[in-house]
Amino acid sequence: MLYLAEVQRKSGFIGSSKAEFKFLACQRSEQNWSAVPGDEHIPAPDDATYGAGALVMVELTNSRQIQRHYEAGRSLVNILQNFSSLSKKFKTQEDEIEQWKQSLTYQSQELNRREMEIEVKQEEIEQAAAELDQVAIERNELEQHKAEVEELRIDLERKNSELEGAWAHLNGEIQRFEERQAAGIASSGLDEQQMQQVQMALEQLMGTVMPTESVREHVTQSFDLIAQQQAGLDQHWQALEQKQSAVGDRQHKLSSQSEALDQQKQSVAEAESQLQSAQVTQQQQQARLEQLEQQSQTFSQQIEAQNSLHQRVYDLLNASDQVRLGKKVDVSALEEMPIEALQSLVSDLEQDLDKMSRFVSDQEEELKLEQQAIDELGSKIAAANEYDRMQLEAEMTDEKDRYQMLNQTLVGQRRNLQERGEMLSQHRAVLLRRQGHAIESENPEPADLEPVLTHIDEMRQQLAERVQQLDAEAAGLRSQIESCQQEVERGQQELDNQRQALHQAEAQFSSQQAEVVTLQGQIQLYEGMLHPVQGRLNDYRQQLEQISNLIGQFQETSDYQLQAIAGMQQTIQSLAAAESTPEYAAV
């Protein structure tokens, strides 16, 4: 199990200090860390050379034994990077959820508004249907009154025809009477039978005169009904004018909204262009970063080649006595040094070399364990699924980094060990010579490889500086890419908001446009209904006015006829009275 621990050192006897690991957190899963309760410590191994307060990663076996330990810097950076990525991902998801909520809320409000509009339109349709039914009823009443007026007109025509016949009969009698007078008939008066015939004709003519009061009453009622119908139609015409005015206002608003929509579309197009430009810049920066990383990788490979060459030179030092690192021992000083001091110095160098050899051996063993761990992770990666492979590859990267750091440390330690070995050999040679022991000095002077190693070190230093420059430039470029990425994300967010606002505005515009079309349809329906009804009502009014004029003419004619009949009756009565007198009879 993997732990995050803090290095603590306690002072011991005569100034020595013992390192301990204080566990701070424990890894439960790949992305799950929990604090370690209490104050749990474990003694650090002897190879733990960390300073007090350092943070390290400690891996324990099932038996609570330390399997390995390493500095926690890179691991903490990876954990923080993963946490930052997860935080950004969660933030993005929260923003998306919030956008969905806003969209759903807007859609719900829009649906409620449409439902209310549909209910209002349904009520208007029901009201219009009721008004149509009322108009149909009133139209039927008008048709009925029209039929009654038509019957009265036919009756008037029939009475008029009968009256004309009576007048024709009376005129015929009068004409015969005048003819008789003109022919000089002996009897200048009318006999009784003729008087009766004339009297009967006058009475018949009097009976054919029809009173017009009832007809005038029906016509007046028809005019009143038409006035009522016209008042109802005027209300409908007024409502139609209001709807036409409302449609005009809404069309004006739609025109303004259309211009605003065009501006929003232009803003969205500009935002898309800016976002594309930022994305192109980001792609260019990413390509430059990949180029820098490739160059850095190439120089790193050259550094590895120089390290390999450096290691081969050291291997040559270990394999042959004909090469050495250089003359670093002042032989004249050793010759003048007391032999006891020289013996003590040689003994100290032997002990120091022994400690250094054990330490390097332990480091070599740890390097082998790291290589074994890398090989095991490689086998696991080959057999792992996609999800586990990502975690294993991250662990592989950490293991390779630790291996590289340990290997680089060992390079210097091996060199130091080699130098100390050569220094001990030279001290031993001087000591043996001063003690009088025979020394085989027939060997030729070994070759000095110090200039070669120095040149290799200079090359490695130059390459490392170049890699450092490339890494610094890459780090700056990564910062620019991150800023550009934030700008792209911000631009994308703004573009999404503008698009959403545009969609909402378009939906609102379409809804209002549909409302205007609906109102226009209602106006056309009203006009289609009102114009025919108004036309028929005008026809009815015109016909009633004609009938009213005919009734007036008929009344005037009837009054004249009644006066004429009354005069004729009076004349006949005078004639009849004259014939009954003796004077008239004698004549």
Confidence of residue 334 (pLDDT cuts 50, 70, 90): confident
Confidence of residue 189 (pLDDT cuts 50, 70, 90): low
Q: Which amino acid is at 565?
A: I
How far, in Å, are 112, 122, 124, 331, 515 from residue 115 at the CA level?
Answer: 5, 10, 14, 107, 13
pLDDT value, residue 521: 81
Decide if 425 contacts 439 (C-beta within 8 A).
Answer: no
**Dihedral over Cα of 275, 279, 282, 284: its sign:** negative
Q: What is the DSSP-derived secondary structure letter of residue 186?
A: S
pLDDT value, residue 52: 82
pLDDT value, residue 587: 43
Query: How far, in Å, CA of 333 to CA of 99, rounded?
Result: 84
Q: Which amino acid is at 237?
A: W
Kindly report, residue by residue over 31-76, the tens digit of the pLDDT.
Answer: 788 888 888 888 888 777 788 888 999 988 888 888 888 888 888 8
Q: What is the mean pLDDT of residues 392-407?
A: 82
pLDDT value, residue 449: 64
Please count the other Cβ atoms lying within 10 Å of the Cβ belonging to residue 421: 17
Cβ-in-10-Å burial (0-12, 13-18, 19+) of 168 comes to: exposed
Nearest of 538, 579, 515, 551 to residue 233 by alpha carbon? 538
DSSP string, 14-33: GG-EEEEEEEEEEEEETTEE
pLDDT value, residue 459: 84
Percent pLDDT > 70 in the chain is 81
Please count the other Cβ atoms lying within 10 Å of the Cβ belonging to residue 406: 19
- What class has domain 275-493? mainly alpha
Decide if 149 contacts 218 (C-beta within 8 A).
Answer: yes
CB proximity list for 194: less than 8 A, separation 6 or greater: 177
Query: How far, in Å, CA of 405 to CA of 352, rounded?
Result: 24
Query: How far, in Å, CA of 359 to CA of 299, rounded?
Result: 31
DSSP string, 149-170: HHHHHHHHHHHHHHHHHHHHHH
pLDDT value, residue 583: 47
Q: Which amino acid is at 316?
A: L
Helix (H, G, I), strand (E, B) or coil at 402: helix
pLDDT value, residue 331: 75
Percent pLDDT > 90 in the chain is 2
Stated as kind and residue range, the H or E segment containing 448 is strand 447-448
pLDDT value, residue 440: 54
- Domain coordinates of the chain in residue numbers? 2-10+19-71, 127-179+194-261+508-586, 275-493
The larger pLDDT score, comparing residue 561 to residue 390, is at 390
Query: What is the DSSP pairing of strand 55-60 with strand 41-43?
Result: unpaired
Confidence of residue 250 (pLDDT cuts 50, 70, 90): confident
CB proximity list for 268: less than 8 A, separation 6 or greater: 495, 498, 499, 502
Kindly report, residue by residue over 496-529, the tens digit of the pLDDT.
Answer: 898 888 888 888 888 888 888 888 887 887 788 7
Decide if 148 contacts 545 (C-beta within 8 A).
Answer: no
Query: How far, in Å, CA of 555 to CA of 522, rounded?
Result: 48
Query: How far, in Å, CA of 232 to CA of 131, rounded?
Result: 10
Stated as kind and residue range, the H or E segment containing 2 is strand 2-11
Least confidently predicted of 173-177, 468-472, 534-538: 173-177
